A and B are shown apart, each in its own frame.
Chain A
Amino acid sequence: MTRALLPLLGVTVAVLFAASLMIGPAGLAPVQALSALIRGDALAETLVMREIRLPRAILAVLVGAALGLAGAALQGYLRNPLAEPGLIGVSGSAALGAVLALQSGFAALHVLALPGAALLGAVLAVLVILALAGPRGGSITLILAGIAVSALAGALTSLVLNLSPNPFAASEIVFWMMGSLQDRSMTHVWLAVPFIALGAMVLLAQGRKFDALTLGEDAAASMGVHLGRLRLALVLGVASMVGAATAVAGAIGFVGLVVPHILRPLVGAQPSRLLPASALGGAVLVLMADIAVRVILPTRDLKLGVLTAIVGAPLFLHLIYKTRAQGL
């Protein structure tokens, strides 16, 4: 089971990716859709496939992989199954950047204005966290700094909504914060790819250090793990992935928490093996959720983040119920 897990998840991602390309309100037949995508011979259909469905499916994979991998890495570093990507305050700060862009009208200037502002928010959060939980701080300092930054970003987001003179902007903000992959373009993909790829490379390279941390910080340090460098790599990797994911998709909760939790027993609980599995698992979950929002309520624009939370929270409760007797 454990050996076949990665190939199995990979195949599932491929199948769901194809399904995501074939499902949508334009009502294209699957064969017609794929031929329009690849051959580019039918104008309207090719436009739908290349400009709407393809970026949406790619972003679902990218965002899911980012959230799953970041969640697994944070849980491995903190040795706590309750850690999730939002913990270090990056998603909250990215959301604040996006909210300011929406409120000020800056978002309407360019397609990259909103995700750019969100990324800027994420970068500022990282700088504050690194200043607070600097080279000598431990993992507790990192959590506390993250909570403080999250709280501040949340409060400022509320302040913007509170003082918003424009109900249209306010409702736009609320809907953006629910998280969605609708109406994204290849521009969004190109913005997110470098950050998510860089973050993934940084985090995947730390696998054995997370394994060593199974024995605690002291034992890991004695086995040659430079804790300060590991924390820096973790913050930069998570921030890069989660900041980019939030910038293009908004806040999508529970993926980074639930996916590592589901997959942990299947990889023998080894943090290093959980990293790639969670990246693929996150892609599976977000692809499924993004297909579901199109199938369940095609006319009502059901938000992706709402669905992941509605499905994720009870699933998480069930997992806690099932595993509480097994000591995790």
Chain B
Amino acid sequence: MSGLALTDFSVARGPCDVLQGLSLQLGAGECVGLLGPNGAGKTTLMRAALGLMAHRGRSSLSSLPLAERAKTVAWLPQAREIAWPVTVETLIALGRLPHLGAGTRPGAEDQAAIDSAIARMGLEAFRTRIATQLSGGEQARVLIARALAQDTPMLMVDEPAAGLDPAHQITLMDVLATEARAGRMVLASMHDLGLAARYCTRVVVLSRGGIAADGPPAQVLTPDLLARVFQIRAHIADGPDGPILQPVGVV
């Protein structure tokens, strides 16, 4: 039970289907980049797979009871909401809520997960700061740490790199790739094809309500696909630090 299985999966928004009859199997240890132009249905796919919106067909996650699902998958929505001026540590500790029994206080195991999440996102200096007073990028990192603190076999994150500076984008992708190597399943929607090419073990490209391509980035992100799905030309090369993919023009 550490993978995502979608079978004949469709999601309707209004009268038309945003996603139509797609099937997808993601397993433990994979760091999957969910790619596609705006409106391709990346967020819809993840929210519906989690059971946060109505869908037809089967999802291995949405069929779980709520409490069990919360211990199986952590979800980072695209909207970065922090409603109250709580401290960074308090906010990250919210990730432990699914693990707390009724009336029990967070224990040593919870504190260890919180500390580890804070360390991995490099937030030690922010621990006692008020989360709402941080910059947008810092808030994004705090919210990612909250999802990490949930310590689930699966991690689904919606555009986690948006708004981060280059150093923190790279750190974030390193963290996600490390999570996958440790045996978790990571599914991240993203727009930065270069980061996807370098860090993901597999990319799934959505287009027009279906899966346009699925496989290792080197095989999927071809000039032909980039032109067809994204309407771009890109410079693709193999550098000393791994693959390089830099969009250079619009088709």
Contact = CB atoms under 8 A, between A and B. Distances in A.
Interface in A214-261: 214-216, 218-219, 221-226
B87 interface: yes
Contact of A219 (B76, B84, B87, B90): B76
Contact of B77 (A218, A268, A270): A218
A303 interface: no
Contacts, number: 80
Interface string A267-301: 01111000000000000000000000000000000
Nearest to A229: B66
Contacts of A223: 70, 94-95, 97-98, 150
B83 A216 contact: yes
Nearest to B77: A218
Contacts of B76: 219
A208 B77 contact: no
A302 B75 CA distance: 54
Contacts of B79: 216, 218
A51 interface: no
B91 interface: yes
Interface in A190-217: 208, 211-216
B50 A222 contact: yes
A213 B73 CA distance: 17
A214 B150 CA distance: 15
B74 interface: yes
Given A211-B97, A221-B52, A222-B50, A327 B81 contact: no
Interface of B: 47, 50, 52, 66-67, 69-70, 73-77, 79, 81-87, 90-91, 94-95, 97-98, 100, 132-133, 143, 146, 150
Shortest 9 CB-CB contacts between residues of A and residues of B: A216-B81, A224-B70, A222-B75, A79-B83, A269-B84, A218-B77, A224-B66, A214-B83, A269-B85
Given A222-B70, A222-B73, A328-B85, 5 more contacts: A212-B94, A215-B91, A222-B75, A226-B66, A270-B86
